[in-house]
Structure 1
């Protein structure tokens, strides 16, 4: 792997706490905060951060779980249930600020599953963001109302996603209505025949998705979503 795509572990300060984060990409590139799934900072979120770096960005993954990683769905659910979501938003804000203080003139946010929901929450609550791309996740109303987004949002869902109220087709359509009401640029894309976590296309990710009874062949949907992601971030971060 080229030097530009090797992770550097850093520490970021916010309020009275310090947390680890993982950085990959060129120093002077536009920044993108990459927010973990419910598993934690594991192989798959790092795979996606490297893909983002290869698109020409500096990707930063804040460790919201403070080093903990879910090894199975039960453990991941426990970790997500115990997450301080308001604190996670503060971690994301500190990550945005770190990128802007370290060579990135413009910064976007993206995330998957739990990270998708936090991406949308960040678009509402975190200053200094230029654009957001969320994958299969909508924040609870008590955290953030998508209708109040301050930045352009692109969102991606699978029409076979069965996580009711969070990333199923009904949640996707409700999000689209709220984003349109916000008056900011928005796109909500729904991919036929794929379920939750369809962006996880590594062998390990496919195996984990298969074990959960989810669709296996997500490569076409994933490639299209990456293309749309790149166009969206280029539009708002490269100008």
Structure 2
């Protein structure tokens, strides 16, 4: 793991201590963001993204959802996801939101990449201080989708074997039926992981556009 601009902290989740990357000035009481990693684990792409968000004025935390495991190949990542503890992932996500709140951050957003997208939307239904959620190439229709009025920004790939058009439409319908706004953007000529620089699918122009849209969305949702 490369050294970034932030620091590493631990939070208690049940009887476990969970690692979390923290960057930004929590003392300024500005908006906070929880960044939730893809199935690769908490790797440099995620901490670098957290650094970028912090550079735009957010206090950012990126918790480890999968107990320190990371993957370099799809096969290894599939094993991580297949062995993931859903209850633990949800508890870690909410503990990260609560950590920001305990440190005086009253308005929180969530950003989830692929595997992390589900937990980004779950958090908005479980915590009323989550005022906006962003998903990157990951659809989510959790049971608590109707427990929030927070909007969702979806940054989706055009050519994505991991997310079907049908499931994406289920998310759109679920949010719409719940009275929640959904801003859906599909990026032409992109594949899954287009916003992660270490992946072959990385598409810099699309990643930059998605990032700028994310910053605008979070700014409006958390401070508007």
Q: Cα offset for 1:73?
A: 1.4
4+ residue stretches of structure 1 with deviation over 4 A? Answer: 147-150
Query: Is there any run of 5+ residues in structure 1 with no aligned partner, and where?
Result: none
Give the TM-score of the pair, scaled to structure 2.
Answer: 0.90
Give the TM-score of the pair, scaled to structure 1.
Answer: 0.84
Structure 2 CA distance for aligned equivalents of residues 116 and 134 of structure 1? 5
Preserved CA contact (<8 Å) 2:121 2:133: yes
Q: Cα offset for 1:157?
A: 0.6
What residue in structure 1 maps to residue 47 of structure 2? Answer: 46
**1:27-106 residue pairs with structure 2 within 5 A?**
27=26, 28=28, 29-106=30-107
What residue in structure 2 maps to residue 152 of structure 1? Answer: 151
Preserved CA contact (<8 Å) 1:149 1:179: no
Judge which range, 79-88 or 120-129, deviates more: 120-129
Preserved CA contact (<8 Å) 1:172 1:188: no
What residue in structure 1 maps to residue 212 of structure 2? Answer: 227
Q: What is the alpha-carbon root mean square deviation over aligned residues?
A: 2.0
Preserved CA contact (<8 Å) 2:124 2:133: yes
Structure 2 CA distance for aligned equivalents of residues 70 and 145 of structure 1? 30
Aligned length: 220
What residue in structure 2 maps to residue 21 of structure 1? Answer: 20
Q: Cα offset for 1:67?
A: 1.5
Instruction: Identify, as 1 or 2, the structure richer in strand.
Output: 2
Query: Is there any run of 5+ residues in structure 2 with no aligned partner, and where?
Result: none
Structure 2 CA distance for aligned equivalents of residues 51 and 169 of structure 1? 30
Structure 2 CA distance for aligned equivalents of residues 123 and 136 of structure 1? 18
Q: Cα offset for 1:126?
A: 3.7
Preserved CA contact (<8 Å) 1:125 1:144: no
1:236 paired with 2:207, answer: no
